[in-house]
Each structure stands twice: as structure tokens, then as C-alpha cells.
Amino acid sequence: GMGGMGGRGRGRQTGPQKGADLQLAVEVPFQSACFGGEQKVQIRREETCETCNGSGAKPGAAGKAQCRQCGGQGAVMQVMQTPFGVMQTQQVCPACNGDGVDPSCLCSSCRGKGTSPTTREVTVKVPAGCNNGNQLRLR
């Protein structure tokens, strides 16, 4: 027979990534660049889903249930009879797309991610004498 091609469902992290950097290009008016000032900026970032509180599960569900088709493995074995004998192949589970989680128990707002994109307005202090192409770091 042929050697096994192993593998499990890929792991998935839920909740926002701690310390994920955001980068944004902003046009600063000439006056602010010369003399300094404040600039309001819209940033878009992933934040904890308010519907499921970051769990990724549908509200009221006991959590994410295993996919019934693959048993939580994220992959299904397919056995085919060929003229050369029996051949096994492993494919990504069509029911859960390799996540190993029952799609019916996922949060409808974030689709099981645990995060949703949110737009926030932030005020940035522009130092006097800013040049074209300067980068400002905010913490």
C-alpha cells in the first residue's frame, strides 16, 4: 500500500490577536504638517464579536459542537476501488470546510471567528515639522 498522508483539521484562533499592528496612510493638511495639530483618523480592526462574546458559538449553544460528518477531524477519508487495488484519499470535510466544527452551531454574526471588523475614530497628534512620507507610531 501507499504511505499515509496524515493531517488533522487546522487549528483556529478565536478572539482578536493581541498586539496586532495596524498601518494606515493619511493625508495631513499642510497647516497641521507645518505647525502640528490633531487629525481624526478612521481605523478598521478586528474586535471581539458582541453577539457571541468571542466564543464563535451561536448564542444559547453550549459551545462549538464537533462536525458530525468528520467527527471534528476536519478531513474525511474517501476509499476508492481501482484496478490496482483499494486507494484511500483524505479530503477537506465538505460540511465544515476543514474546521471540524458543526456549522449549525456557529455564531451567525462572525461565522465562528469570534471577531468582527469594527471601525473606530482615533485622534492622532501630528508633530510640527512633519515631512512627506513620515511615519507616526501610536501605542
What SS3 class is residue 30?
A: helix
Residue 8 CA: distances (Å) to CA of 57, 68, 72, 84: 21, 15, 9, 27
Are 115 and 15 contacting, i.e. CB atoms less than 8 angstroms apart? yes
What SS3 class is residue 130?
A: coil
Residue 44: CB atoms within 10 Å = 10
Amino acid 92: pLDDT: 94
Q: Collect the ranges in the chain with pLDDT lower than 70.
A: 1-20, 62-63
pTM (2 decimals)? 0.48
The C-alpha atoms of residue 21 and residue 139 are separated, in whole angstroms, by 10
Amino acid 18: pLDDT: 61
Amino acid 1: pLDDT: 43
